[in-house]
Amino acid sequence: MALDDNRDSLPSASAVTRLMKCAASHRMTLKARAMRQEAEEHGGKNQQYREKGNAMHEAIFKQSAADLETDQDRMDYSKIMRRFRDFLGGWGAQDDDMIIREERFWLHQEIEPIFSGRPDYIRISPNRQRAAIVEFKSLWNKEDEPRENNQLWSQAVLLAEEDPGIKEFTLQIVSPHYTYTAHLATRDEVLDYEVGLRVMLTLTQVDTPPLTGDHCKHCGGMLICPAIAKEAAIKSEHPSELDLKNAPKLLERLERMAKYIEEVRNYYKLVIAKDPLAVPGWKIVEKQMRLLKSPMKIRDAIMPVIGEKAFWNAVSVSITKLEAAIDGLDKGLFDGDNKNPKKLLEPFITVKTQEASLVKEKK
């Protein structure tokens, strides 16, 4: 099956959405990767998110939340497992299905590997005619629906190449935060998609110009991208003089600039971490955050000393976590008048309007 688990600097399924919009992104990402190799060693936000996502995947495959760090993670895990079981039930899973977990598959041009993907979970029916491809997404990023999700479609292409007998591919994303509608794709549809995928892969090998857009925010090549640098230098009309129909473009550009600024700052953090005198007048200051662990033990140790009232005054309760805990309860407990378990909390919630923020509408 898979050659090995090394992507070998070739494009992979997780980047297809971006590459379909900007094929140059692959080239830029490879160039920037060398500059950022140390960033991986030094950690950073992306690595923390990746570690969080990996821990959730481990828990799903071990079917145990024991190693997850926080109560929120454990609640997310319960929700994912419930939704996953519901999906498998609807798909018609059987005990003798074949299951493949996190295995890398390759697409070839003649005998050369040109693209790879590592689906989180594949389930194939015993007659090998039906397959389900599932991605687990535990973070808050909202993904494209399975019917238009490039990552899932390109994984279906890889599986179709691997197993020519599969006629139906069910694509699904399981998340604790959003519900997605599974999409059933026929083999012919997957092969049609493959044509466009191969065109895009050819474009990643030639010198196409970078094309900016919303997809830039996930691009690893932003740090050295000339199109972004050009956008950063372009002068715009003053917002009050700008035709409002052009305002969405300006706001999207500013979002890209914010990401670009973060990329540049992160790069110089690395430079200064290596040589504290490299950038005159700038230094790195480490921030520390104090965290409390084991809430039960804290309550047992502190409440007898400061009293119950002072203790509860010092503790903040998370509405989201309480709602998630209620959500995880057996719905049979809520019969009769108490049909909606979330109503339990309603009498205690006070809503305060905070300062409005500007967000982009989801399409």
> Minimum distance between the CB of residue 200 and ligand SF4, rounded to whole angstroms?
13
Looking at 40-48, 79-87, 215-223, 336-344, which segment touches ligand SF4 (CB under 6 A)? 215-223
Question: How far is residue 117's CA from residue 12's CA, in Å, rounded to a whole number?
Answer: 5
The whole-angstrom separation of Cα 133 and Cα 122 is 5
Q: Is 258 in the site for ligand SF4 (CB under 6 A)?
A: no
* Local structure of 57: helix, strand or coil: helix
The DSSP secondary structure of 24-56, one letter per residue, reads HHHHHHHHHHHHHHHHHHH--HHHHHHHHHHHH
Question: With binding defined as CB under 6 A, does residue 259 bind ligand SF4?
Answer: no
- State the nearest-atom distance from the C-beta of 20 to ligand SF4, in Å: 11
Please state the three-class secondary structure of 250-297 as a single string: HHHHHHHHHHHHHHHHHHHHHHHHHCCCCCCCCCCCCCCCCCCCCHHH
Told to check if 219 binds ligand SF4 by CB under 6 A, we report yes
Rule CB under 6 A: is residue 221 a binding residue for ligand SF4?
yes
Q: Which residue has the tokens 């069910």?
A: 170
According to CB under 6 A, which one of 228, 263, 270, 324 is a site residue for ligand SF4? 228
Cα–Cα distance measured from residue 159 to residue 350, given in angstroms and rounded to the nearest whole number? 51
* Length of the chain as a residue count: 363
Three-class SS of residue 250?
Answer: helix
Among 11, 119, 146, 210, binds ligand SF4 (CB under 6 A): 210
Closest approach of ligand SF4 to the CB of residue 85, in Å: 37
Cβ pair 157, 197 in contact under 8 A:
yes
- Residue linked to tokens 């993670």: 73
- Establish if 223 lies at the interface with ligand SF4 (CB under 6 A): no
Question: Which of these ranges, 9-17, 22-30, 293-301, 342-350, lies near ligand SF4 under the rule CB under 6 A?
Answer: 22-30
Which of 54-62, 97-105, 221-229, 293-301 is the region at the interface with ligand SF4 (rule: CB under 6 A)?
A: 221-229
Could you write out the three-class secondary structure of 292-333? Answer: CCCHHHHHHHHHHHHCHHHHHHHCCCCHHHHHHHHHCCCHHH
Does residue 28 belong to the site contacting ligand SF4 (CB under 6 A)?
Answer: yes
Using the minimum distance from each CB to ligand SF4, give the nearer residue, 56 or 219: 219
Residue from the set 12, 212, 263, 270 that interacts with ligand SF4 by CB under 6 A: 212
Q: Confirm or reject binding of residue 216 to ligand SF4 (CB under 6 A).
A: yes
C-alpha closest to that of 171 among 161, 107, 6, 158: 158
**Tokens encoding 144:** 């494209």
What span, in angstroms and rounded, lies between the C-alpha atoms of 360 and 363? 9
User: Is 253 a binder of ligand SF4 (CB under 6 A)?
Assistant: no
Among 56, 152, 200, 225, binds ligand SF4 (CB under 6 A): 225
| CA–CA separation, 39 and 271 (whole Å) | 10
Q: Is 24 in the site for ligand SF4 (CB under 6 A)?
A: yes
Is residue 11 at the binding interface for ligand SF4, with CB under 6 A as the rule?
Answer: no
Instruction: Name 117's bridge partners.
Output: 105
Shortest reach from residue 9's CB to ligand SF4, in Å: 16
* 313 to 332: interface string for ligand SF4, x by CB under 6 A: --------------------
Query: Under the criterion CB under 6 A, does residue 251 sit at the interface with ligand SF4?
Result: no
With CB under 6 A, what is the number of residues at the site for ligand SF4?
16
Shortest Å distance, C-beta 261 to ligand SF4: 13
Name the percent of the chain in helix, strand, coil, to the closest 5: 50, 10, 35
Residues in the site for ligand SF4, rule: CB under 6 A?
Answer: 18, 22, 24-25, 28, 210-212, 215-216, 219, 221-222, 225, 227-228
